[in-house]
Amino acid sequence: MNILKQIKHDFWDFPISLIFRPFKGYDDIKDKHEGKISVAVTLILLMGIMSIIEYQYTGFILNTFDPREMNAIVILITSVFPLLLMVLANWSMTTLLDGKGKMDEIFKLLAYALFPLLISRIISVILSNVFVESEMIFITVMMGLGFIWTGFLVLVGLIVMHQFTLSKTFLL
C-alpha cells in the first residue's frame, strides 16, 4: 500500500501542487530534489503518446488529419524531440550565462510544466467526440489555457532554476 501512496504522490499530488504553486514546486525540485526523473520521462512519453491519440481519435469536426496516413513513429519523434532539444539548448545557454540550473533539473522543469497541457489534451480529445460544432469553442479555449499555463510554468521554472531575473530569462 505504501508503494501506491508513493506513486500517487509522484504522478499526481506533486504535479498538481506544482502547477498551482509553481515557485514553491520548482524550489522543491531545486533544493529538496523533489521531482523524479522517471516521472519526468513518463510525462514526456505521455505527451508523445497523446500526440498519436490526438491524431487518430480527435473528433471529425476538429481533426484535420487523415488517420489512414498516420505514422506513429514520426508523430512521437516530432513531439518528443523538440522538448529534448529545448532542454539541451537551455542547458547550453545557462552554462554560458552563469545560470544555476543543472540538466536534470531543466528536464524535470520542462516535463512537470507539461502537466496542464497533457490534462487539457486528454479532455479535449474526449470532448471533441461529444461536442457539436457550435461547442468546439470550449475545446479551443481549454487548449489555449493549457498552452498558456504551460508557458507560464516554464517561465517560472526557468526563473527559479537558474536564479535569473525576468529579463535575463527572456534572453534565454
- Reference 75, options 107, 53, 97, 98; nearest CA is 53
**Is there a contact between 87 and 172 (Cβ–Cβ < 8 Å)?**
no
pLDDT tens, per residue, the chain with 172 residues: 689 999 998 999 999 999 999 999 999 998 888 889 999 999 999 999 999 999 988 887 878 888 788 888 999 999 999 999 999 998 988 888 888 888 999 999 999 999 999 999 999 999 999 988 888 899 999 999 999 999 999 999 999 988 887 777 776 6
Pick from 75, 144, 136: nearest CA to 116: 144
Identify the three-state secondary structure at position 171: helix
pTM for the complete prediction? 0.89
User: What local confidence, expressed as pLDDT, does residue 73 receive?
Assistant: 92
Residue with cell 497523446: 50
First to last CA, the chain: 43
pLDDT of residue 45: 95
Looking at residue 1, what is its pLDDT?
A: 62
pLDDT at 98: 80
Largest CA distance in the chain: 52
Distance CA 46, CA 74 (A): 15
Q: Can you give the residue ranges of every domain in the chain?
A: 2-171
DSSP assignment string, 84-119: HHHHHHHHHHHHHTT----HHHHHHHHHHHTHHHHH
Residue 60's pLDDT is 79
Q: Which residue has the cell 535569473?
A: 164
